[in-house]
């Protein structure tokens, strides 16, 4: 498609054309003129296409779009439609971008780049199945591009089809053994709750990159779910050493709480002792005290509670727990003070009945033998 009657035609250029065709037959003149005008239109199209690319780089997107449109009115071509589609995508005009990319594909139906661009629009439109089809076309014409398999795998992961995602990630890794691809495989295996294979995959990743905190964190998560709590903690420590991320510290605390809830008190203590190396707070010492209490280590439980009070002096539950530990240690006066403080802090506490029972027990014991009370 071209236009022959354009205001911007260089007059000297047309004059040269007239001189060249002078003396030819009418038919020859007509054919020659058409060829010259085709050549001229093509050159002008290139000029406007280059202007469009320039405006696109400088962020002047509306000017870029106008330039591509002028060029395409002169000569339709795949590259200009593709560049126009890129501008429309930046402008978030997704339907128009899709039309532009389809036009580019019509001119060059074996160009993988155009199918990839089309896939990006479809992803933005959340048309995931159509996006997968576009990726398949791109892969058909460029089967050794590992990025295409990775992104296709990401779509399957987004759709919850993790087995298909792993299959695509494996293809990407076989073409180009990049760390990111293997991590994607590892994460997908973990999300499938295939913890043994996920653990092996994360371990292999640490061989590729011994300083990758993500891989060690994945190892830790897998080991924890396999109930190998000591090795999991070691992996958490390595991850923290490589990446001093507060979120990782919080994970260790959260794991300690999980262990406490399932009555794995010794392992909970190990995690808590690690947690206080990075960050001290009342909650850590409180759970530590509870774990020690359950293990009948009342002396150290009391020490942990006393440290917890420094950070959280208004916690009625903490004072109730302190009262119980003082009772076990035979320090009944201190136990009474702790129970009374718990009541004072929260008179409507759910633990009020339990506190009253504990106080009554102490009072009854005092009537029997006052000598057993310690200050």
Residue with tokens 């000591």: 230
Q: To 5 degrees, how large is the angle CA 295–CA 300–CA 301?
A: 60
Q: What is the mean pLDDT of the chain?
A: 85
Q: 154, 167 in Cβ contact below 8 A?
A: no
Q: Determine the Cα–Cα distance for residues 162 and 131; give it in Å rounded to an integer.
A: 17
Q: How far, rounded to the nearest angstrom, does the alpha carbon of residue 107 sit from its chain's CA centroid?
A: 37
Domains and CATH numbers, the chain: 1-6+35-123 (1.25.40.10), 314-375 (no CATH)
Residues 55 and 67: beta-carbon distance below 8 Å = yes
- Please name the residues in contact with 272: beta carbons below 8 A apart, sequence gap of 6 or more: 253, 256, 284, 287, 288, 291
- pLDDT, mean of residues 217-222: 96
pLDDT in tens, 17-33: 455 545 545 565 555 55
Q: At what angle do helices 229-242 and 213-225 cross, to 10 degrees?
A: 160
Give the pLDDT confidence score for residue 365 in this predicted structure: 63
The predicted pLDDT at position 374 comes to 42
Q: Which residues contact 233 (CB under 8 A, 6 or more apart)?
A: 220, 252, 270, 271, 274
Burial 284-296 (b: 16+ CB within 10 A, else e): bbbbbbbbbbeee
Percent of the chain with pLDDT over 90: 59
Predicted confidence at residue 138, as pLDDT, reads 97
Query: What does the angle CA 288 – CA 289 – CA 293 come to, to the nearest 5 degrees?
Result: 120
Helices (H), 128-245: 128-141, 146-158, 162-175, 179-191, 195-208, 213-225, 229-242
CA pair distance 268, 277, nearest whole angstrom: 15
Give the length of the chain. 375
Residue 40 has pLDDT above 70, yes or no: no
Report the distance separating Cα 248 and Cα 156, nearest Å.
28
DSSP output for 6-73: -TT--HHHHHHHHHHHTTS-HHHHHHHHHHHHHHHHHHHHHHHHHHHHHHHHTT-HHHHHHHHHHHHH
145-203 pLDDT, tens digit each: 999 999 999 999 999 999 999 999 999 999 998 899 999 999 999 999 999 999 999 99
Lowest mean pLDDT among 4-13, 200-209, 325-334: 4-13
CA distance 135 to 113: 10
d(CA 18, CA 24): 11
Q: How confident is the model at residue 281 (pLDDT cuts 50, 70, 90)?
A: confident
d(CA 29, CA 20): 9
Measured in degrees and rounded to the nearest 5, phi and psi for residue 212 equal: -90, 105
How far CA 140 is from CA of 137, 149, 338, 375, in Å, comes to: 5, 11, 74, 83
Residue 203 is encoded by which pair of tokens?
């371990």
Question: In this predicted model, what pLDDT tens digit does every residue of 4-18 receive, in sequence order?
Answer: 343 444 445 445 545
Instruction: Please calculate the CA angle 326-327-332 and round it to the nearest 5 degrees.
Output: 85
How far apart are the C-alpha atoms of 242 and 191, rounded to whole Å? 23
Given CA atoms 239, 244, 247, 252 in this order, what sign does their dihedral have? positive
């Amino acid at each position: 498609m071209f236009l022959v009657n354009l205001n911007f035609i260089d007059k000297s250029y047309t004059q040269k054309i007239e001189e060249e065709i002078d003396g030819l037959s009418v038919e020859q003149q007509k054919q020659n003129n058409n060829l010259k005008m085709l050549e001229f239109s093509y050159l002008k199209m290139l000029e406007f296409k280059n202007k469009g690319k320039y405006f696109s780089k400088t962020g002047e997107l509306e000017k870029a779009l106008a330039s591509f449109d002028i060029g395409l009115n002169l000569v339709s071509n795949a590259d200009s439609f593709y560049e126009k589609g890129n501008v429309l995508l930046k402008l978030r005009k997704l339907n128009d971008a899709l039309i532009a990319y389809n036009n580019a594909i019509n001119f060059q139906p074996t160009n993988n780049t155009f199918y990839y661009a089309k896939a990006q629009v479809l992803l933005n439109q959340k048309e995931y199945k159509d996006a997968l089809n576009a990726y398949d076309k791109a892969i058909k014409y460029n089967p050794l591009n590992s990025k295409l398999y990775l992104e296709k795998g990401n779509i399957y992961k987004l759709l919850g089809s993790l087995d298909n995602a792993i299959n695509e990630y494996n293809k990407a890794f076989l073409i180009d053994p990049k760390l990111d691809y293997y991590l994607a495989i590892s994460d997908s295996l973990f999300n499938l709750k295939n913890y043994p294979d996920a653990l092996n995959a994360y371990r292999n990743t640490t061989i590729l990159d011994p300083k990758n905190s993500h891989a060690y964190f994945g190892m830790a998560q897998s080991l924890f779910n396999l109930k190998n709590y000591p090795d999991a903690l070691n992996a958490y420590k390595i991850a923290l050493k490589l990446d001093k991320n507060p979120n990782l510290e919080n994970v260790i605390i959260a794991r300690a709480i999980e262990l406490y809830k399932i009555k794995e008190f010794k392992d909970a203590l190990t995690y808590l002792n690690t947690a206080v190396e990075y960050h001290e707070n009342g909650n850590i010492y409180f759970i530590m005290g509870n774990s020690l209490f359950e293990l009948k280590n009342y002396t150290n439980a009391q020490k942990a509670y006393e440290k917890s009070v420094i950070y959280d002096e208004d916690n009625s539950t903490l004072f109730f727990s302190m009262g119980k530990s003082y009772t076990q240690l035979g320090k009944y006066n201190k136990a009474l003070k702790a129970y009374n403080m718990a009541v004072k802090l929260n008179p409507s506490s759910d633990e009020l009945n339990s506190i009253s029972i504990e106080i009554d027990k102490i009072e009854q014991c005092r009537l029997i033998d006052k000598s057993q009370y310690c200050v």
